[in-house]
Structure 1
Amino acid sequence: MGDFTNNLEASLHKGFIDKEYEKAANYDPQFLVNRGQRRVLTSILEELEKSQSFMFSVAFITESGLAMLKSHLLDLKAKGIKGRILTSNYLYFNKPETFKELMKLTNVEVRITNVEGFHAKGYIFQHNSHYTLIVGSSNLTAKALKVNHEWNIKLHSLKNGDIVDQFVNEFVNIWEQSTPLNEAWIQSYKREYDLRKQTDPILHLAEAKNTYSQLDIQFVITPNKMQERALAEIQSVREADNSRSLVVSATGTGKTYLSAFDVRAFKPKRMLFVVHREQILKKAMSDYKKVLGGKDEDFEIIGGSVKQSNAKYVFAMIQTLSKDENLRGFEPGEFDYILIDEVHKAGAQSYLNVINYFTPKFMLGMTATPDRTDHYNLYELFDYNIAYEIRLQEALEEDMLCPFHYFGVTDIEVDGHVLEDATLAAKLVTKERVKHIIEKIFYYGYSGQKLRGLIFCSQKEEAKELASALTTMGYLSVALTGETSALEREKQVKRLEDGDINYLITVDIFNEGIDIPSINQVVMLRQTKSSIIFIQQLGRGLRKHESKEYVTVIDFIGNYQNNYLIPIALSGDRSQNKDNVRRSVKDTSYISGVSTINFEYIAKQRIYNAIDATNLTKQTILKNAFEELKNRLGRAPWLKDFVDHRSVDPYVIANKNDNYYHFLLKMKEDIPVLSAYEQAVLTMLSAEVLNGKRKHEIYLLDLLLDRFAVTKQGYETLLTELGIYVDEETLRSVERIFDLSFFVDRDTLKYGNKPIVEMNDDSYSFNESIATSLRNNSFFKEMLLDIVYSAKAKSGRYDKERPLTINQKYSRRDACKLLNWDNDESSTVYGYKTKHGTCPIFVDYHKAEDDEDSINYQEEFISRDIFQWSTKRNRKKTSPEVSTILNADQIGIDLHIFVKKDKAEGTDFYYLGKGTCQEETAIQTTIGEGADQKPIVHVNIQLEEPVEHHLYRYLIDVG
């Protein structure tokens, strides 16, 4: 309690008296405005996770706002934590459906106040030692929690504080006079709500804002902003005398309308639209009519019994058109504009027959997934002309898609075993699992009046038995597989759209080429095979429709080997960098708009385990990424191309293969020969500069590649102009890196055994061997420039004003280098080591189970800003190294704290910043038993800054 009180006093001093106050203040008042790191939703979730109970007082609640909290509230239920929500019927804003959703929260009691004009917005969290309040403008709605420009203040108070006492008393007073939420109250409210909706124009307008009908009408008449940009780019491709081009556009972003707008601008004499599915064809022709206008006879479909057409706008099934007798009924130049939809299928012979036969003035290919698992080079087919590209994240930012709430939920154990890749169908449809599925789909729910869902599963028998079981339980379901006829599929799709059934359960179909905009729930019951398929299935629900505000995505996560693909697919991060993938699980703020990504606790741990267990840098994965990018570019990519196209992390490739030159050789690329020494230089720069962790080496290289020599003063001037910190210790460290004196003998030999950069008369220059190579070998120079470009890009995440960046990861060797040690002493650092006025401390947070003494190390977070740490064994408080650390603050030694979750994370640790030992907490005890007992010291370390919330939860959770 004393520590909290001291911190709170310091926080209040900083927050209300002097913002420059430097004493540790970890409970500062915060202004939450939904910008940057100050988002209301993030703060609410952070407080919920550590609360003992909570009270929300909010006038308005939406289903989407509630969905953002559901998985977190379920985790709290598992821990026995309860809460209360006080809301109202003020202005009849809250829908009856919202109250039904509130009834599902069995660990949350809800009451309705009749206080006239109730418009309160406050969130109160009770913790062990204190309360936290978030009070201001945010109701419990999706936009208020994540998007709108809100004004909220976040405060902390001891339980005896007057302000929290006032808040709690006001809440309790209104609570005791309020009506408990129950089914009877909801039915009564619904009758009043429906009556008001018919007569109250304001209420009707408020509800209309949750639909997209007006948006869709406007969308048909004129292009949206994205389409305007895309149309300009397509026109630019044509103006450059190109006759073919690709548009890559996420599912649901209106690429059919986009193509129609371009046809309208092009004014072809005749146009041909080609696709593989009749349903798409009919919808496309309908959309084109809205955009192009004209007579009905101007539009005709080729398919079924219709083999030919003289219409101006022809819409053709590829299966019909590609037959030789039908194809040759047209002249090769008959159409001056041809569109190929779902063009990723163009590697099939039927498509190639059509594409190679016709000679239009312009051909446009459209797809959401150009990168195929079969490695067919679609880009080459369209002359490497990508007119426009919009992926999932960009589409969400542009508000082109229906928002979604993704829930990674925990799949059930069957007969004591968690479902795995090889689980048989019989175990996938047991009564226990069906019950579990129903519990989850009911709890997470859907938006709209009627449930219309798609369920993806992995086996045909599973689909059929599950359809039968769900139907028996009241969820009318139909199984569709590859064996189902096209006619039957269309019939069942219409039944789903009409609300006659609740679910279509599919296996290996409907990943693409199906358009059911009214789908409001997508359920994934199969392991993720690829990121492409995952996004395709997610995309089935992302089309906007007037019947829904958002789509619910429920992904059942078992012990699947490919679980690591889930965060990769959702974030769009293809770096193959494990740290990035973990970051995408623990912090999902990358998702735009009101969409959210949520993982139940156990499901999240299963993903972490899959990340740890998999090898993301397998040569086959890197080869596939290389070939994909090569197909896109029409040439072998450089490292910088991986950066520019947001593909694999260049450092991952180089680190796996010593350097990129070696990787190109393994890819059997025809490249110039480099000498053994040139290769050694590439290896050194790839290992020591490419990671971007210190900017100084990057910019010295940049200068030298431009001028071959540079004065020390010129180098320092550049660093200063760029805002990069400069001091003699760091400059000396950079010199020791480039003259190789920092490294151990093994590395020095690997890096060529002679200085790469020499210093003479206060100037830097490459050694003569490198200078000669740069003059005579343009390929070698290009490879060095490539490393510098890529290193600059990677360095953007690192602080330029200090050596180490909080929340980034570093190895022991990185610490030796960045703390300006003379030599690489990483092999002898172990848990900690004091050198050159610094002491880096490295901790594996979760010790190995086979370490008998691990429990005695007592290394854990007391709070986000206090870490309990243990010295090495056989150390006393009076031991010189321990005394030095305990008194580091007084004698001018900086303690730097590095922590990783466990050994499975590899060699890199998260940097948590500087710390100060709380000497009064130091305790000397023993470790081991009997004759093996040794002294050990435990002490609390106060961090300068509290650990970022998402990282803190990740580190302390048992994975």
Structure 2
Amino acid sequence: MNKLIVNNKTDNFYNCLTTLFNSCKSFYINVAFINYSGLQLLLDSLKKCEQKAVKGKVLTSTYLNFTEVKALKKLQEFTNIQLKVFDSSDVGFHSKAYIFEYEEDYKIVVGSSNITASAFKSNVEWNLKIGSKKQDSFTLDVLNEFDSLFKQAYYVDEDFLNSYEKFLKQKFVKVDKKFIFEKKIKANSMQIHALKNLKDLRKNNQKKAIAICATGTGKTYLSAFDVKEFEAKKVLFLAHRENILISSKFSFEKIIKSKSFGFFTGNKKELDNDYIFATIQTISKNLKLFKKDEFDYIIYDEAHHIASESFQKVFLYFNSKFTLGLTATPNRSDKQNIYEVFDDNVAIDLRLNEALEQKLIAPFHYFGISDIVIDYENTNLDDLSKLAKLLSVNKRVEFIIEKMKFYAHDNKKRKALAFCVNKEHAKYMNDEFNKAGIYSTTLFGSDCVEKRELTIEQLENEDESLEVIFSVDIFNEGVDIPKVNTILMLRPTSSSTVFIQQLGRGLRKTQDKEYLTVLDFIGNHNRAYLIAFALLGNKAIDKDSIKLALNNSFATISNNTFIYMDEISKKRVLKQLDEENFNSFRYLKQQFIEFKNDIKKVPTLIDFIAYETTLNPKDFIDESKSYIEFVLKVQKQENEFSLSFLKIIRFIDSHIKLKRVHEFAILKYLLNHDYIDLKTAQNEVLKYQEKVDLQTVKHSFRYLNQEFFDSAQIKRYEKVVYLEDEVLKVTQVFKKCLEIKKQKELIKSSLEYGVLLYEKEFERVYYGLPFLKLYEKYNMKNIALLCSLDKIHSSFRGSGQLKHKNDYFLFINLDKQNAIKSRRYSNVFFTNDTFSWQTKPNATINKGDGEKLIENIKHKVKLHIFVRKYITVDKKTQNFIYLGLANTIKFEGEKPINLTLKLEKKLPKYLYDEFTLSV
């Protein structure tokens, strides 16, 4: 029976706890803080538990510095208790829960009481005692959440206690001064993942890799952790600025204690050390001081500079055992493909949206404000000079200042970075802000390093009066200001790439920044909805996703990030979404041209990965059969290529989203070899996947040999290889195509893009057979490939149901309108893990597929569930989302049978909302 526990004259929380301790089998305590005054009252109960060998786990925190060292030391004396402290320097830890296990059930108390004497007896406290069976979903949720928090926490040891005690003894320790235990720096989620990938790459004899991570997520610590794992004796860390080397050396010293560290720069030549931190300029001029194999491990910070003369000189000179490139933006090397330099080995590719999701960067409060002053309806946003004049008016400046003051900012001092149209606009805004008494300045990519560093220092210094920096060239380096607490987006943009770049400049975490304030002045230009795409990232399934997110204030975005658009902006975006056809050539052309203008060159396929953009070149390929044909069409250039080449590039481009990497890894190898055998192919695939089975490699050989193509496919595509005695050989037609440099470059670009896209979406995980990743998008033909189906793949189709051996694939169309009218037999979700589905009209319960569907567990049949909301959007057929395995829990009728299915894994909230909410 559930009961509310309060402190009054007849009962109190203390009595409740001691009663529960007396007869429990085990206990778990999860409280924000523990004072000795409260712990003292529990000592007798805890001692009795120890004597009866009743084990317990206690999780607390240093939140607000209320937990007492004396209490932690006392808890350590109990041999039956595991004691941990959660790191609350980054996130508030408010939970109060007491969990007791008994023979048949759990008694769980959740509420407001920490372990203090006053909370036990005198404070106004509300606590709810709940009885819950061991397998109840509530019990499992509570235990799973406790286990998750406990795993993240530190064990309380002597080092921790000494560090915390020293911190508390400081004069004037306030509750807002956060304790950070720095003795043992733990790898974050990004670093753990990247370290595993780096280890796997080295197992497969790879000597280079690149790590791409959003600014502030811990690239330097990643390199230090990996150097430690590698057990490198001599290390070279390269960067182009001394201040980067100083902070990098500091990071390494925290992780590695057994080595000596020194600088090699214009000012210092400390070569008698194990690990050297050098400027690229200095070392490139002094290479003769070092042997080619001097260093076991070399790190190139800001590796997007790898094409520069000084970087290339160093890169080509040394022969290290391992080389790691670090960058936040792999998109600035104009002459050379950065991925190719590092052999397409991507240890991690973590961009802004993923970093936000994993809480590796600062949360932000975004306010989309209708720009009431400017009408952009008939304005060309690419005409920067005209646009700057349009925006440079007093009324708009007053409006911006008014909103800036209204929404305010985090911390005492405003530290704002404002993005303008061009230098003239930035100078105008700077003058007007200074006139209004807001001390500001400008900073451009063309400014010298000294000015840049001085300006940033003034903005970040609490004692300086500089509040705002107006900038333009967001693609240039140097505008990385960790302590920025405000971003002002003062230019209309129809580019999600530009938007993400601007936003990312303020998201580096610092101890004194709780969140970033973003003020975006949204005009009535006809592409405002792209901002919503950028904010939602890869969670956008279709137009509905954006509409749901807008109406729900982007609730699916976690990490204390809040997004608000005023009603005018919201209506404007919704109207544009309804009116735009995302698959029309006009729309795709516009997207392409804007991206081209953003990066100031005709984009290669690799650029769509290198730049943090929401654009999907597969849409361009679908429109024109291949990417190069789309580019020629947009630029109105004549087609100079032979039909043979076009049939080859169409084959490759049409398979870019194959969902397995084998075909692309094999063809990439064959760009420079005449044949490939099964063993070599396995090794090539192992570069991108942690495990490779021979059966799938053989199937990919046969697939490339066109054995599973129908007559239309054989006619449509040129054959690039042929199979002979389990060896795949290059055809003469393919050889001739590769002899022409431009054709080879285009084929290579497509293959490399396919591999990089696979790495980004699937990483190195092996998903078995069938090769299916949870929540990835698929069509029926994909499944044929991923099952290694031994027949023509286009024949693998059916009305909602396919099967291969004991794997059954159920393809479900959700009709939201019907789902609202009737929840009985339509394909509809009841909860986040149960839904209804109707079989084929002729299915019966006593034989064949019908019998296997209703008793799938008995017949060892795996039911794979694929769902889509709509069959088509903007006249384009939609793919299905894979929801994993399900089992039948109920059925009714036959011919057809109405099944109720239960997923093995509950849907994430954002997907459940997609499938059930209407817009």
User: So what's the TM-score if we normalise by structure 2?
Assistant: 0.50
User: So what's the TM-score if we normalise by structure 1?
Assistant: 0.48
